[in-house]
Amino acid sequence: MRINVPVLLFFALILAFTVAPAHAQEGDGAWGEVVDADGNILYDNLTDLGEAHESVDWMPDLPFIDGQATYHEYLTPSGNLVVLPSATTLFFMAVNPEASGLSQADSYLGNGLGVLETMLAGYISPSDLADLGYSDSADFFQAVIDGQSSIWTLGGLTTINFLTDLLSGSLADQNLYTMILLYTQGACGDAPGGCAELVEALPTPTEIECPAPYIQTGPISISGGSGDGGKIAPPNPVVVGQDKDKRGVDVQVNVHVPPVIYHYFVKIPHQEESCRRDPSGHGGGCSDHPGDPNYKSVVNVWYECEEHTRSYTDRIASVVITINLTQESRQWILTELAQAYPGAHLIHPDFSFSYGGGGASWSKIIPGIQTADPGNYRVNVTARSTGTPVSAPRSASAGIGQFLVELVRVTLIEGQ
């Protein structure tokens, strides 16, 4: 059975409607944990389960997609699951509504882009929108919270609040979210990716104990540019005091944080059935009717633990780069060089640069570092990640080598 598209908004030049699913419970307050009457998405009221990337059969294996479904999930206080699929993922969910779990969602709330996607995918048609009711924009979200279905709104401050909050979630993940899917408690198995962290809260048989969830990831990688110590230019730097252009040294640093793979186990019950045969010897197979002589009965029950995995992006929170003149070069300046050039001393032997993070991969070129002291400079990098819903922040430090800054010596020859 096709479920009506629940909540669709009209914004800009794109029609957006709001519709509750055919099986939504009137006045059950499910959306009251997700949005308020002013159209604000209640992110602070939700438990953030993070952004997930999962290989699924219903996503095509195309460039920039690679069979990966992308979505962000939240848990409401009452145990409902909120899913925000990326725009690309939503389109292919609409193309494959049963396999992707779109048809099993209890209700949806989205903007006109989400409607357009589902229409282009053939999940709904323009005729499906013709019979939808109307709700004034000032009262629209209260009607949604009260459980009304088949309503839509055009414009208004509440609509702008919702679109702004939906956009903020899109920007945070660098995705485009156009629709929110709601799966009520106990139905998380129909959502994309299944239950994930919710598995432990679900009732499961106690006859066996499944292994505890665990995480798996690789080390944070730190590297430099093509030259020694990450130096990329110039080929043979000299101290800036001998360079009329004050060119300095360009250093490049690269950091990559691998994803965190979350392994969890679902306890699956199995049973073996037997049939009571008709004493006359007639009939065959098992019947679902208790009064039938061939009514089936369970003769054996067993359980197995099924392993699942999910991938979480661990982003870079901060990077600190230190560039220090080596102790050997300092000693050389203060002794040998000072003897040849009286008054030689350390001018600026230490540099430090701090940066905010971004995605899982980060690259930075530090241009024109003003190296005034000759000698070898050692480059060290410390990176820290943000962590994920299933793992704590991580940090790593590594040296990427050293580069040489030369001093052009001047020798004076007295004439006779």
Mean pLDDT of the chain: 78
Strands (DSSP E) found in 19-175: 47-55, 68-75, 81-85, 107-110, 153-154
pLDDT of residue 250: 97
Overall average pLDDT of the 266-281 stretch: 61
What percent of the chain is predicted at pLDDT more than 70?
70
Residue pair 20/149 in contact by the 8 Å Cβ criterion = yes
- What 3-state class would DSSP assign to 98? helix
Residue pair 222/381 in contact by the 8 Å Cβ criterion = yes
- How sure is the predictor about 156, in pLDDT bands with cuts at 50, 70 and 90? confident
Residue 325 lies in a domain: yes
Is pLDDT at 252 greater than 60 in this prediction?
yes
- How sure is the predictor about 404, in pLDDT bands with cuts at 50, 70 and 90? very high
Shared-domain flag, residues 117 and 148: yes
Shared-domain flag, residues 103 and 176: yes
Residue 213 lies in a domain: no
How many residues are there in the chain? 416
CATH number at residue 329: 2.60.40
For residue 113, give the nearest of 95, 134, 132, 87 by alpha carbon.
87
Is pLDDT at 163 greater than 90 in this prediction?
no
Shared-domain flag, residues 239 and 290: no
Shared-domain flag, residues 229 and 108: no
Sign of the C-alpha dihedral computed for residues 93, 97, 103 and 108 taken in this order: positive
Pick the last residue of a domain from 269, 293, 312: 312
- What 3-state class would DSSP assign to 110? strand
Shared-domain flag, residues 274 and 318: no
Shared-domain flag, residues 244 and 293: no
Overall average pLDDT of the 144-168 stretch: 77
Residue pair 239/274 in contact by the 8 Å Cβ criterion = no
Q: At what angle do helices 87-95 and 112-120 cross, to 10 degrees?
A: 40
Residue 416 lies in a domain: no
Is pLDDT at 96 greater than 90 in this prediction?
no
Residue 156 lies in a domain: yes
Pick the last residue of a domain from 276, 297, 312: 312
Residue 33 lies in a domain: yes
Shared-domain flag, residues 30 and 123: yes
Tokens at 15, concatenated:
């029609």
Shared-domain flag, residues 242 and 293: no
pLDDT of residue 73: 87
Shared-domain flag, residues 171 and 269: no
Interval 386-402: pLDDT, tens: 999 889 999 999 999 99
Residue 415 lies in a domain: no
Is pLDDT at 114 greater than 70 in this prediction?
no
Interval 213-237: pLDDT, tens: 999 999 999 999 988 999 999 999 9
Interval 75-88: pLDDT, tens: 887 778 889 998 88
Count of domains in the chain? 3
Is pLDDT at 318 greater than 50 in this prediction?
yes
Pick the last residue of a domain from 276, 295, 312: 312
Shared-domain flag, residues 294 and 368: no
Shared-domain flag, residues 17 and 125: yes
Residue pair 165/21 in contact by the 8 Å Cβ criterion = no
Is pLDDT at 282 greater than 60 in this prediction?
no
CA distance 2 to 97: 9
pTM of the model: 0.49
| Of residues 189 and 230, more confidently modeled | 230
Residue 208 lies in a domain: no
Residue 414 lies in a domain: no
Interval 341-371: pLDDT, tens: 899 999 999 999 999 978 899 999 999 999 9
Shared-domain flag, residues 58 and 116: yes
CA distance 173 to 313: 10
User: What's the domain range around 43?
Assistant: 7-201
